[in-house]
Structure 1
Amino acid sequence: YADADHAGCQDTRRSTSESAQFLGDKLVSWSSKKQKGTAISTTEVEYIAMSGCCAHMLWMRSQLTDYGFDFNKIPLYCDNRSAIALYCNNVQHSRSKHIDIRHHFIQEQVERGVVELYFVTTDYQLADIFTKA
């Protein structure tokens, strides 16, 4: 699960990325980290949060594969349809050009079938607890 709190810091207006990684139904890792730059849209904030979550999931996958675990597609849940659409449609639009290229690597993971993106409503967004608590 990946989520973000857009412009949540009252002083800098920076957003916070949060994620929760599960192995089956067990929480094995979580993260809450202030983003480095100030984002201008919720889509950008969620896009960055999903990118960080994906990188962490791929690292976990490589570690667990060494211990004999086998994975099909890794599900990644997000409550922002625009961010998911941006990942699934790699056409650059004038409204998305400002998003740093370093966050686009997740598109490759989706295209290769390593990660599969899913929309989840805010009511079922498990990563929300890290900024809404």
Structure 2
Amino acid sequence: MLDCKDAATPMATNCYLDLDEAGKSVDQRMYRESHLTAVKRILKYLKGTKGLGLWYPNGTNLFLNGYSDSDFGGCKIDRKSTSGTCHLLGSSLISWNSKKQACVALSTLEAEYIAVGSCCEQSLWIKSQLENYGIKIRKHSVEM
């Protein structure tokens, strides 16, 4: 993979990693050729973005903002929703997460509540960690 062509994005927009029972098996587990193709794409993306990084400017206001979103029944296999969260300290991204929810939501509202609960939990943890270092947060918010 050292001589491979770079990929502009980590995943193709038409890529769905569903249970691929008809696909060619690449090992004794349930991994199929479609899964291997997706992993290779991620490696190509990482190879092409080695020089990129995140910049955290000094002296910015310390406001903690958390954002959450979810889909409703996005997984085609078990109909579980996926939650996503991100947290910014000032204008700098400090945390992000994407995870399949543990239970099946019965509505889009329930899926959003689960996502915002996860976001609040992470916000409180970040706030307590910063306070342990003597950093006081003047304002924090969570948005769906």
TM-score range relative to shorter protein: 0.5 to 0.7
For 1:43, the equivalent position in structure 2 comes to: 109
Distance in 2 between the 1:31 and 1:72 partners?
A: 24
Deviates most, 51-60 or 68-77 = 68-77
For 1:14, the equivalent position in structure 2 comes to: 80
- Measure how far apart 1:72 and its partner are: 3.3
Where structure 1 has 5 or more consecutive residues not aligned to the other structure, the ranges are 79-133
- Measure how far apart 1:71 and its partner are: 1.7
For 1:5, the equivalent position in structure 2 comes to: 71
- Measure how far apart 1:69 and its partner are: 1.3
Percent of aligned pairs sharing the same letter: 46
* Runs of 4+, deviation exceeding 6 Å: none
> Does 1:30 find its partner at 2:96?
yes
Deviates most, 25-34 or 68-77 = 68-77
Larger Rg: 2
SS of the residue 2:99 aligns to? strand
Question: In the TM superposition, what are the counterparts of 1:55-70 in structure 2 within 5 Å?
Answer: 55-70=121-136
TM score, norm. by length of structure 1: 0.57
Residue correspondences, number:
78
TM score, norm. by length of structure 2: 0.52
Q: Deviations over 1:18-63 (max 9, x none)?
A: 1001101100000001001111111100000000010011001000
Distance in 2 between the 1:10 and 1:38 partners?
A: 12
**Greater RCO (CA < 8 Å, at least 6 residues apart):** 1
Considering fraction of residues, name the structure with more helix.
1
What amino acid is aligned across from residue 124 of structure 2 in structure 1? L
Question: In the TM superposition, what are the counterparts of 1:49-128 in structure 2 within 5 Å?
Answer: 49-78=115-144
